[in-house]
Every structure is written in C-alpha cells, then in structure tokens.
C-alpha cells in the first residue's frame, strides 16, 4: 500500500521552506512531489524598483549564507552589460570574501549533516572550526554576514593591511582543523555505512537535470564556474576542481571538505598577489543592453541576468540560485531509498530550506492522519545511525 | 566545441530560421523562430554537447521574450537562445521532454508571464501562493501596470494587495 509522507514546508535545521511529499511503500520511497515557493519574496520585481547601486544590498538578502555570491553575480552582470573594468585589488578582495564564504558555508553544511545522522561530535567540531572564519569576515568586512562589500565597479571597502597577519594565522589553524575533520569523516566506518551508496545521482543524471556545484561534482559531472567562466582574478590563482564519482551523500560531503583546502589556497594566493591600488572604478551610467553574471557559489553556480534601458534601475533582473536546479535532483535521488534517509538526501544538496518542520503522515488506506513533531524525522535518522553503530561494534567484537 | 564551429553548424542546420549575434567572445546570442525552438535546444544539448543552465523571460509589450542559457564550459562561453512568444496567448513548445532540468524554469515562466508550454509534463504554477488569482501573472506588463495604478490610489497598499490576491491585513490564509 502506498502512503504519503509530507516533509515540510518548514524544517528545523535548514534555512528556507520546501515541501516534499514522499510516496512510500513500507519504508521505501517510491515517488516524490516537490513544492517550492513558500517564501517567495518577489526580489526580482523589487530589484526593478531600486537603483543599480542599491540592488547589491537587496540581493545579498536572497540568502544569508550566500550574501557575497548573489551580489557577486549581480555586479558581474551589470559590468558585463556596461563593459566595466574592475581594478585588480578589488578583484582580489572580492575573491577573498567569496572564498571565506565558501569555507563557512561548507563547514556549516558538514555540521548539519553530522547532526542529521546523529553524529553531534561532527556538528560541534565543524561549527567550532567555522567560528574563526566568521571572525575573519568580521575583521575584513565589518560583518559576520551580509558583508555589503561588493559594488558595481569594485568593492566598497579596502582590506585593512593590519588584519592580514591575523587572517593568515587563522587560515593555518583552520587548515589543520579541516584536515582533522576530513580524516574523521572519511575514515569513520559508521559514516561510511550511513552515507555510502545513499541518494546516488550519477553523472548522466546531473547533465540531464542541470545539477550544479558539489551536487554535480560528487557525481563526476565536471562543472565549476570559477574555472569554466572565470571572473575577476579567478584566472590569476591556482586551484583544483574537486571531483568524485559515485554521486552519493558520502561523496557530496567529501567534495565539500576537500574544497575547503582549495578555498584556503585561493585566499593565501590573493593575499600574496594583491598590491596597493584603487578599489573601485567610477560608474556613471549603465547603457541599454543586457548582461549575464555567473559565479560559483558554495552550493553551485549562481546566475544573474539583467537588462537595461539606459535608466537608473534594471528593466529586468532574473536571479537563479543553484538550489533551484539542485532541489529538482531529489526527484531521482530520493526514490528507492528509505524514509530515514530521505531527510539526509534532500539535505545533501545543501538546499536553502527552513527552520521549523511538521511531519504529517497520511494513510491512504483508511484516511487516518497524524501530525508528529519536527523531531521525528531526525530521530528516525539518528536511530538508524545508532543501530548501524551497534551492529558494527557487535561485528568487531565477534570478528 | 569552439565558438566558430558552433555558429557554422547552427547556420547549416537551421539556415534563416535563426539569427546569430555576438556581443563579446564569451556571449553568443541565437534568435530563433518559434517552430524550431525545441529542435534548436535539443541540437545544442544532445549533438553539440552544450550544458543546460536555466532560462529567463522579459515582457516586451507585444509578446514575451523567452531565453535559455546553454554554456560551453570547456571553451568558456555562453550561448543564449532566444525566441518570442506573441501575445495575447503566448505559446511555445516545451523542451522539458528533451531536458528534464528545464521543467521548473518553464513552470516559473508560465506562472509569471503566462507562456503556455505545450507538452510540458506538469505545467502547474511553481511559486505563487494559493491565494493569488489564477489570471494574475506578476511578470506581465499589464499586471505590473495594474499594481502600480492600484498603489497610486488613495487606498494604496490595501488595494494593491487585493489586486495581487493577498489576504487582508491580520488575516491568516
């Protein structure tokens, strides 16, 4: 008998509401219906009523975690439209803030994933290591989030030279800690048992569904806008694109952890290569035309499209966040898995979805319905981890 | 595949049904007629190995300009394919049966701009609240104008909310 289990639209751990209706037979998911739009704020329309210079403040509120990525893609779209050259120092400052954002976003996800599977030690470690990254962002931009650093033509504030030694010192510490955390995740047999082969989304499906970021790279789909469509100083720094091949939850975690090392590498190069100079070009008007801005955010490629009629605000502003493509991949990756894994798989694409959750279970057979507390789904997931842990301990004792 | 080769192949295949414009080495725009829309997207995706990224649309008074972004990542450039769906009933064939990743963006364009994508597997509105009237398409020039004129009246915001189908203040839908 097929039952339907709604997950959402509000969820306790993540940031934005989504609604997944799971169709299950026993423990197995046989279908899924996804509904988005629960916090549609009309930001594209709002943007068309703001001046070119006001829009970055608006679009950094598309997502708190990606509050550098959206302004980055937006300013690149406007600069593409108007043919604006950005001073080299500003290009490096943009990269530093963007890569710091990648670090804190990936560590945040790793912590949440640990919590999801009942591994709260990982949660505590990852969030502890994330804290110095936010300290650096505060020292460099003045804010832990919503940095308000980017503007059309450059950046708003210079990077204080006095903060550079502190930044380098914190990065050294973070590199060591990230190595420790990565080893703990990669070598842990319980995490292997809990995440390997779960929620597989392979290369072929990634291409068909337009998967982006770590979701795509975990499945071996080699896309990274930083290398493929380099903006600003990305063609002046050396970094590797991390690829795995299985496309399961484990590989998605590994890609993010290894990308942290690359982000640290990029920031160090920027700090080394940047020289004193201008931090912004004066922009007087945006001519009629259109522009496309593409930036590789922590979750995947962000795309902003703008059209100008020569006025002081955009005629049209289209925003595509990576979760828009990645959440759709759940149509495939959740089907065939167990209910206990569904929450983990939907979270593995690092979607933006939200802060409280209701779980209602509808029995189509007798029409009965019950609404459980938000903790039920996480509890099921954590119980499963505990069961695996005990089994593994038992095997070790017997073997 | 290199830019010049892509342009050559597209011209050979579609002839005068398309017009190609280059804004910069990283941006190629292909303007296509409605009847080859799916063939063009399919040819770029399946034969020339472009990646499907996403789509966008712009209300252009007489119709809706629909565009899809299809980058060639290894060669570092974006091909944007564009077509024009004429009002009063803008209609296009859906590419979702060729590229499943286009499902949601076509649903979004439908609900924002009233573009009817023929043969779409599931053309339900994607984002809007249940309280919004079915015939209100927020991206359309006519609806935007209606909202603006409602805002400029004395009863201002309440009237604008009514046009957009929002519940009265303090009332939980």
pLDDT in tens, A12-56: 545 667 788 888 888 899 999 888 877 777 888 889 989 999 999
Residue B88 preceded by cis peptide, ω within 30:
yes
Partners of A325 on chain B (C-beta within 8 Å) are: 54, 101
Query: pLDDT tens digits, residue range A245-264?
Result: 999 999 999 999 999 999 99
Query: Quick check: B76 and A80 CB within 8 A?
Result: no
pLDDT at B60: 86
Specify the higher pLDDT residue, A395 or A193: A193
For A103-116, how does the pLDDT look when each residue is reduced to its tens digit (9 = 90+)? 999 999 999 889 88
Residue A161 DSSP SS3: helix
φ/ψ region of A199 (left if φ > 0, alpha if ψ in -120 to 50, else beta) reads left
Per the listing, tokens 């979270």 go with A347
- DSSP H helices, chain A, are 43-47, 55-59, 69-82, 88-116, 120-141, 164-187, 189-195, 203-209, 213-218, 225-228, 249-273, 322-326, 330-333, 339-348, 375-398
Token pair belonging to A264:
């640290």
Distance (Å, whole) CA A135 – CA A129:
11
Range B3-126 has CATH code 3.30.460.80: yes
Q: Say if residue A361's pLDDT is above 50.
A: no
Chain B residues inside the 8 Å CB shell of A289: 23
Mean pLDDT confidence for A221-244: 96
**What does the pLDDT read at residue B156?**
62
Please tell me the distance from the alpha carbon of residue A176 to that of residue A257, in angstroms, as a whole number. 12
**What mean pLDDT comes out for the span B45-58?**
96
Would you say A51 and A313 are in contact if contact means Cβ atoms under 8 Å apart? yes
Mean pLDDT (chain A) is: 88
pLDDT over 70, % of chain A: 91
> What is the DSSP secondary structure assignment for residue A84, as one 8-state letter?
P
**A80 part of contact set with chain B, CB < 8 Å:** yes
Report the chain B residue with the minimal C-alpha distance to residue A325. Answer: B101
Q: Is the predicted pLDDT of residue A225 greater than 90, yes or no?
A: yes
- B14: pLDDT confidence band, cut at 50, 70 and 90? very high
The tokens for A140 are: 């460099």
Q: Calculate what percentage of chain A has a pLDDT beyond 90.
A: 63
**Number of cross-chain residue pairs from A and B with Cβ atoms under 8 Å apart:** 74
Distance CA B66, CA B35 (A): 14
> Residue A102: pLDDT above 70?
yes
Provide the CB-side half-sphere exposure for A187 (13 A, CA).
6
| Overall average pLDDT of the B120-131 stretch | 84
| 3-state per-residue secondary structure call for chain B | CCHHHHHHHHHHHHHHHEEEEEEECCEEEEEECHHHHHHHHHHHHHHCCCCCCEEEEEECCCEEEEEEEEEECCCCEEEEEEEEEECCCCEEECCCCCCHHHHHHHHHHHHHHCCEEECCCCCCCCCCCCCCCCCCCCCCHHHHHHHHHHHHCCCHHHHHHHHCCCCCCCCCC
Does residue A95 carry a pLDDT above 80? yes
Residues near A322 by beta carbon (within 8 Å), at least 6 away in sequence: A212, A213, A297, A299, A300, A301, A302
Q: How many CB atoms lie within 10 A of CB B8?
A: 11
Q: Rounded mean pLDDT of A300-311? A: 94
Stronger pLDDT, A294 or A46, i.e. the higher one: A294
Bridge partners for B93 per DSSP? B118
CA distance linking residue B159 with residue B152, whole number of Å? 9
Beta pairing partners, A21:
A6, A33
Segment A155-175 mean pLDDT: 94
Copy the structure tokens of residue B164: 């957009």
Task: Look up residue A240 and give its DSSP letter.
Answer: P
Residue range B74-84, pLDDT digits in tens: 999 999 999 99
Domain positions in chain B: 3-126, 128-173
Q: List the single best residue of B71, B130, B151 to mutate versus A (max A Cβ within 10 A).
A: B71
CB proximity under 8 Å: A 5-64 to B:
36-37, 40, 42, 45
- List of residues 6+ apart from A172 with CB closer than 8 A: none
How confident is the model over A55-72, as a mean pLDDT? 90
Query: So what's the ipTM on this one?
Result: 0.89
Worst-scoring range by mean pLDDT, A42-51, A86-95, A156-165, A361-370? Answer: A361-370
Question: Inter-chain contact A303–B52, Cβ cutoff 8 Å?
Answer: no
pLDDT, mean of residues A277-294 = 94
Average pLDDT of span A86-91: 97
The answer on pLDDT for B115 being more than 70 is yes
pLDDT at B105 over 90: yes
The pLDDT score that the predictor gives to residue B170 is: 59
| For residue A357, pLDDT beyond 70 | no
Q: According to the model, what pLDDT value does residue B169 have?
A: 58
Contact A13, A120 (CB under 8 A): no
Residue with the larger pLDDT of the pair B173 and A133: A133
Q: Going from the N-terminus, what domains does chain A have, and what CATH number goes with each? A: 2-39+339-398 (no CATH), 43-325 (1.10.645.10)
How, if at all, do strands A150-151 and A154-155 pair? antiparallel
Sign of the Cα pseudo-torsion (B98, B99, B104, B110, in order)? negative
Is residue A9 reached through a cis peptide bond, with omega within 30 degrees of 0 on the bond before it?
yes
The residue that leads in pLDDT, A17 or B9, is B9
- If you average pLDDT over residues A154-177, what whole number do you get? 94
Q: How far is A366 from chain B (nearest CA, A)?
A: 28
Residue A356: what pLDDT?
24
pLDDT at A362: 43
Lowest mean pLDDT among A120-129, B20-29, B146-155: B146-155
Q: How far apart are CA A30 and CA A3, in angstroms?
A: 10
Residue B104, chain A, CB below 8 Å: the answer is yes
Point out the residue among B53, B104, B128 whose CB comes nearest to the CB of A303: B53
Query: A331-355 pLDDT, tens per residue?
Result: 999 999 988 888 888 888 887 643 2
Give CA–CA dist A359/A378, Å, rounded: 11
Q: Residue A363: is its pLDDT beyond 50?
A: no
- pLDDT value at B34 more than 90: yes
> The tokens of B47 are what?
């034969």
Residues present in chain B in total: 173
Q: Hey, what are A108's tokens?
A: 């945040």
Q: Do B54 and A303 touch (CB under 8 A)?
A: yes
- A210:B73 CB<8 A: no
């Amino acid at each position: 008998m097929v039952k339907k289990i709604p997950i959402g639209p509000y969820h306790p751990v993540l940031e934005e509401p989504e609604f997944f209706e799971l169709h299950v037979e026993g423990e197995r998911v046989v279908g899924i219906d996804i509904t988005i739009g629960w916090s549609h704020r009309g930001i594209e329309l709002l943007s068309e009523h703001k001046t070119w210079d006001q829009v970055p403040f608006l679009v950094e509120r598309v997502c708190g975690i990606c509050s550098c990525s959206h302004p980055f893609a937006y300013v690149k779209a406007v600069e593409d439209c108007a043919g604006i050259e950005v001073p080299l120092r500003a290009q490096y400052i943009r990269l530093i803030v963007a890569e710091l954002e990648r670090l804190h976003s990936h560590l945040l996800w790793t912590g949440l994933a640990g919590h999801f599977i009942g591994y709260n030690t990982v949660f505590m470690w990852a969030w502890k290591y994330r804290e110095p990254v936010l300290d650096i962002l505060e020292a460099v931009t003045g804010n832990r989030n919503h940095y308000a650093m980017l503007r059309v033509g450059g950046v708003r504030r210079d990077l204080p030279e006095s903060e550079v030694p502190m930044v380098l010192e914190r990065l050294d510490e973070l590199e060591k800690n990230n190595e420790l955390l990565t080893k703990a995740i990669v070598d842990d047999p319980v995490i292997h048992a809990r995440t390997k082969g779960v929620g597989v989304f392979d290369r072929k499906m990634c291409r068909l569904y337009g998967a982006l970021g770590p979701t795509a790279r975990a499945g071996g789909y080699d896309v990274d806008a930083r290398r493929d469509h380099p903006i600003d100083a990305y063609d002046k720094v050396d970094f590797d694109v991390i690829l795995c091949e299985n496309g399961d939850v484990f590989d998605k975690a590994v890609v993010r952890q290894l990308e942290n090392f690359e982000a640290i590498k990029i920031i160090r190069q920027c700090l080394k290569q940047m020289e004193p100079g201008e931090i912004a070009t004066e922009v007087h008007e945006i001519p009629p035309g259109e522009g496309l801005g593409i930036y590789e955010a922590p979750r995947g490629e962000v795309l902003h499209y703008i059209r100008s009629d020569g006025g002081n605000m955009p005629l049209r502003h289209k925003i595509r966040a990576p979760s828009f493509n990645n959440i759709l991949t759940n149509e495939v990756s959740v089907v065939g898995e167990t209910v206990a894994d569904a929450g983990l798989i939907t979270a593995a694409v690092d979607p933006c979805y939200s802060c409280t959750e209701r779980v209602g279970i509808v029995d189509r057979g007798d029409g009965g319905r019950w609404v459980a507390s938000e903790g039920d789904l996480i509890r099921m997931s954590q119980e499963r981890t505990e069961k695996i842990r005990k089994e593994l301990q038992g095997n070790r004792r017997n073997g | 595949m290199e830019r010049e080769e892509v342009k050559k192949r597209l011209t050979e295949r579609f002839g005068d049904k398309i017009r190609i414009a280059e804004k910069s080495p990283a941006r190629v725009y292909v303007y296509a007629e409605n009847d080859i829309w799916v063939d063009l997207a399919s040819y770029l995706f399946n034969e020339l190995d472009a990646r499907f990224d996403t789509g966008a649309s712009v209300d252009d008074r007489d119709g809706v300009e629909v565009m899809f972004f299809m980058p060639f990542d290894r060669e570092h450039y974006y091909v944007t394919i564009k077509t024009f769906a004429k009002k009063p009933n803008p209609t296009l064939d859906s590419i979702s049966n060729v590229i499943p990743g286009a499902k949601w963006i076509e649903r979004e364009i439908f609900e924002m701009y009233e573009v009817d994508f023929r043969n779409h597997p599931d053309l339900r509105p994607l984002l809007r609240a249940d309280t919004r009237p079915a015939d209100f398409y927020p991206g359309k020039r006519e609806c935007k104008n209606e909202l603006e004129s409602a805002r400029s009246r004395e009863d201002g915001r309440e009237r604008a909310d009514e046009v957009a189908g929002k519940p009265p203040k303090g009332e939980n839908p």
